[in-house]
Structure 1
Amino acid sequence: MVFSSLLFLFVFLPIVLALYYASPWRIRNLLLFIASLVFYAWGEPVYIAIMLLSSVADYSFGLLLGRSGQSAKRSKWIVIASVIVNLSLLGYFKYADFLIGNINGLLGTDIPLTELPLPIGISFYTFQSMSYIIDVYKGKAKAQRNWIDFGTFVALFPQLVAGPIVQYSTLAEQLKNRTATVSMFAEGVRRFLIGLGKKVLLANNIGLLWDTISASQADTLPVLTAWLGIIAYAFQIYFDFSGYSDMAIGLGLMLGFRFNENFHYPYVSRSITEFWRRWHISLGTWFRDYVYIPLGGNRRGLLIQVRNIMIVWLLTGLWHGASWNFLLWGLYFGVILLGEKWFLLRLLARLPGWASHLYALLLIVLGWVLFAFDDLSRIGEYLGAMLGLNGQPLWDDTALYLAYTNAVLLLVLGIAATPWRRLRRSYHPVLQLAWYAALFLASTAYLVDATYNPFLYFRF
């Protein structure tokens, strides 16, 4: 089940909200826990066991850490055990076939692949569960003794499938005490509708252009067509993922939870450093707090800092998928970020704003080519098409047709990706209500008739 579906919008969500607000406070977490299990089981009932296993293990490890008189050495081994359990589950389901395939290729063996489908959201809830153990170990949070509250934290359906990744210290107090006001609920509805519109009306429509172009042989594409395709993909993945994050944050507000922001207009960035402060913020924060800083950050000399940055970015790439292109993508951004840290940021500060913005956008778009194709040979072919190295013209009639028929949509996407799109709060409440009602009706109408409604981050 996904948020952008008629089943969720008109059946699951209304029932959950009605039961939630009709129930006394003391059982609301239990209700959310059950609802979250139903939500997850709708698509993958078998894999509930994996999520529950991870939850029970970390709940137990947390209780052990919370015991008084615990020695530092024993506490450290408890954390190590938790990390091993969580990463073993993640590694088996997400990376086993990648490892086996590479071993077979290198050694000429014929080890059979597991061919197991990837449990939805496993990368997200595994990181959340690990954050709990580490927060308790560091003293940033107390061990959770209520199993239902802990299960609710791990399985909470608004952010279970695609984040934002919520650290336990962020939600610990909210699990026990939260206030759901009328104004907070209204803000949640507003935020949810914005996310729904971004996903359904923007991401889905521009995704059709990318699917059309990416299905063609890259070495036959004119330069304009290749650029149109990857720009379409850049918009699709942004509005798809940020739209889902908006819906998650909105649902959280409806239920009395405040999740951290996950996107902040990343395409207005003037450097790659700034881009990664604005894109998938919760993932970057997780790696900073639980990998980069514990490794020493920038406190132990230049070589250690370089090592730490490259470890973080290779892990960031690997987190996104079990494929060499994701590792290459992580390495690509790691190298650029090192360059900016050493000298490029100083050069960019001297450039006009438009020039530094163009620099960032070009590198971001080139990065999406690495991200979009699992096949490394296709990456080379597509980059060749963009740079005019495949012997194709700058444009042809098809390229001009695609540019002309998608011009208005691309203009809307460009505006919507900037702060200019925000609806002024000073507008008359009736106009605001009419706008959000129209957004909901248009999104619903699209879903009624749609056969194309992908969600890109399901693969992660």
Structure 2
Amino acid sequence: MSFTSYWFTLAFLPVSAYAYRRLISKNQLHLLLPLLISLVFYYLNDAHNLLLFCASMGANWVLAGVIAKNREKTSYLALAIAGNLCFLALYKYAKFFVVPGTAIPALPLGISYFTFTQIAFLVDTARGQARSTNPLEYALFVAWFPHLPAGPLLSHKDMLPQFMAAPGATSALRPAPRDYAVGLTLFAMGLFKKSCVSPLFLHAQSDVFLRAGQGDPIGLIETWIACLGFLFETYYDFCGYSEMAMGISRMFGIHLPVNFHAPFKSSSPVEFWTRWHVTLGAFMRDYLYRPLTKKRQVWRHYAALFVVMMAVAIWHGATVPLLIFGIYQGLLVTGNHALRRWNIVSRKGGWLQHWAGRALTLAAIGFSVSLWATRDWHQASSIMLGLLGAGNGSVWPISFLSPILILAAIIFNWFAPSLIDLMTKELPAWSVQLKKSTTSTLAWRPSLAWAAAVAIALCLALINLSGLKEFKYAGF
């Protein structure tokens, strides 16, 4: 029962939100009811792994208690983290462990997201930054259903205070009419991106990746269009999901963090990775990069950046192209920092640097799609040759619609405010990069114009739901 199914949109979500609104005032239900809704959602999506999911939460809650009582003994934390990572690796890289001919087990729903969320809680417990919680509070924090299929990663510092608010007080646990309006807007616009916008870029890719895998000729322009098409398709798919998750959660009075904030406005690779999959970047910063750079040597800084980008690549999969993707992104990010350090590139920059940076960043990220979207080195190398004009195909593609679509997407993403920009005032400060927000006269407000726009977007999205593929990052 995906977010993009009629069962979820027209039955599960409205029924759950209504029951929550009617029953949340009961003191004994203010934790149990949303937890029950979350576990029912998990059961309907992945019944076979529900007990495994609950066992993971139970084991980590016990481990957090042990770590809290033995903070001076780092071995407890190390063993807990190792256990979680082994659990994750066992499923994500099962093909390397199972006997040939044996069926590979399916990934439990949201395994990366609930595992990383729990690792962060364990580390913060060892640091003395996380308070002890009762089992219901902890389970609700980890299992809160809008984030399960594809994130975002949750931080206990932001989420637990919302779940633990007194049900009788003016708190996030008591959704107000404005919460429903904001939530429905985020949900409708996110669903529109997934069902109406993302498929356009799937079609723009044509059969370029298939032909590259077969060793057929591919041309310069069509290969760039295919790679940028894949990039925009992934963006609208993943960003659409993230905004839907925010909207669903808001209908229950709970704020989720922003996960995408206009990444194509970035004028450098460093900025791009602070706007794309924001919560994964924050996790890597807090629990991998910073521990590696406690000593302030410059070489540690660059080495840590490489380790972070390699970790992101391995999380996506253990293939040769993805490993090279990690090295490539590591070079981009460390090179960007080096240019800043040597004052070759200014942190602020002028008009020319800003727009040249946007174009170069888009080109650099677009080129990396050759490593990100391909299944093996043969296909990846063919795409890279095509991007360099050595793919032995005609320079200009037959269709003019795809280039126009890509050009329109670039212009729109460069100049138009994002949905997060338009709704910044309705989101908590901790979830929005306020310094990167764009002000606009179109900012969201409860008005007839916005209601009409949301209604049209929702209707168009519902019309296009049938036949939609699952979110690209579902189950990661």
TM beyond 0.5:
yes
**1:50 pairs with 2:66:** no
Deviation, structure 1 residue 413: 6.7
Candidates 210, 213, 234, aligned match of 2:208 = 213
Letter aligned with residue 435 of structure 1: A
For 1:66 and 1:15, the matched residues in 2 are separated by 39
Whether contact under 8 Å (1:96, 1:114) holds in the other structure is: no
Structure 1 match to 2:32? 30
CA shift, 1:428, in A, is 8.3
CA spacing shift, 1:166–1:354, aligned 2, 3 Å: same
Aligned with 2:417 (options 406, 417, 420): 420
Describe how 1:20-419 pairs up with structure 2 within 5 A.
20-25=20-25, 26=27, 27-67=29-69, 70=70, 72-73=72-73, 76-97=74-95, 99-100=96-97, 115-145=104-134, 147-177=135-165, 178-179=171-172, 180-210=175-205, 212-217=207-212, 219-297=216-294, 299-343=295-339, 346-349=343-346, 351-395=352-396, 399-401=397-399, 403-404=400-401, 407-408=404-405, 411=408, 414-416=411-413, 418-419=415-416
CA apart distance, 1:114: 5.8
Q: Name the SS of the counterpart of 1:457 in structure 2.
A: coil
Q: What is the rounded CA distance, in whole Å, between the counterparts of 1:252 and 1:141 in structure 2?
A: 23
Please give the secondary structure, in 2, of the residue aligned with 1:293: helix
Distance 1:79 1:216 in 2: 48
Amino acid at match of 1:327: L
- C-alpha distance in 1 between matches for 2:366 and 2:410: 15
Work out whether residues 262 and 413 of structure 2, in 8 Å CA contact, stay in contact via their aligned partners in 1: no
Q: Which moved more, 1:337-346 or 1:211-220?
A: 211-220
Give the superposition deviation at 1:419. 3.8
- For the residue of structure 1 that corresponds to 2:368, the secondary structure is helix
Q: Which residue of 2 aligns with 1:457?
A: 473
Please tell me whether residue 4 in structure 1 is matched to residue 1 in structure 2: no
Q: 1:408 to 1:337 in 2, by over 3 A?
A: closer
CA–CA separation in structure 1 for the residues paired with 2:140 and 2:320: 35
Cα deviations across residues 13-64 of structure 1 (Å, max 9, x unaligned)? Answer: 0111111111134313222222222222223211112211210111111222
- Sort the Cα spacing of 1:255 and 1:302 in 2 relative to 1 into closer, same or farther, 3 A: same
Which residues of structure 2 form unaligned runs of 5+?
166-170, 423-441
State how far apart, in whole Å, the 1-side matches of 2:270 and 2:449 are.
38
Residues 130-180 of structure 1, C-alpha deviation per residue, up to 9 Å, x if partnerless? 1111122212121112x1221111111111111110112221211111422
| Offset at residue 354 of structure 1 (A) | 2.3
Query: Could you say what the CA RMSD is over the residues aligned between the two structures, in angstroms?
Result: 2.3
Conservation of the 8 A alpha-carbon contact between 1:219 and 1:382: no
Q: Secondary structure at the match of 2:47?
A: coil
Distance 1:264 1:445 in 2: 27
- Say whether the 8 Å CA contact 2:189–2:240 is kept in structure 1: yes
Deviation at 1:112, TM superposition (A): 6.0
Does the 8 Å CA contact 1:144/1:150 hold for their aligned counterparts? Answer: yes
> Distance in 2 between the 1:441 and 1:256 partners?
24
Taking the aligned partners of 1:183 and 1:223, their CA distance within structure 2 comes to 49
CA contact (8 A) 2:267 2:354 kept: yes
Instruction: Say if 2:191 and 2:244, in contact at 8 Å, map to a contact too.
Output: yes
Secondary structure at 1:216's aligned position in 2?
A: helix
Deviation of 1:391 after TM superposition, in Å, equals 2.1
Q: Give the AA of the match of 1:187.
A: V
Displacement of 1:426 in angstroms is 7.4
CA contact (8 A) 1:415 1:421 kept: no
Pair 1:88–1:304, CA change in 2 (3 A):
same
Deviation at 1:312, TM superposition (A): 1.4
The aligned amino acid for 2:448 is V
| Count of matched residue pairs | 439
Supply the distance in 2 between the matched residues of 1:14 and 1:377 (Cα, whole angstroms). 48
CA distance in 1, matches of 2:364, 2:42: 37
- Structure 1 CA distance for aligned equivalents of residues 460 and 415 of structure 2: 22
Q: What percentage of aligned pairs have identical amino acids? A: 26
CA contact (8 A) 2:71 2:127 kept: no
Select the structure that is richer in helix: 1
C-alpha distance in 1 between matches for 2:112 and 2:275: 20
Q: Which amino acid aligns with 1:143?
A: S
Distance 1:244 1:434, change over 3 A: same
| Residue aligned with 2:474, SS | helix
CA distance in 1, matches of 2:475, 2:318: 10
Cα separation, partners in 2 of 1:57 and 1:211, compared to 1, 3 Å? farther
Residue in structure 2 matched with residue 430 of structure 1 by the alignment: 448
- Offset of 1:417 from its aligned partner? 6.5
CA offsets per residue over residues 230-279 of structure 1, 9 Å max, x none? Answer: 11111101111111111111112111212221111111111101101111
Distance in 2 (CA, whole Å) between partners of 1:83 and 1:323 is 24
Counterparts in 2 of 1:410 and 1:444: CA distance versus 1, 3 Å: farther
Q: Structure 2: how far apart are the matches of 1:365 and 1:287?
A: 23
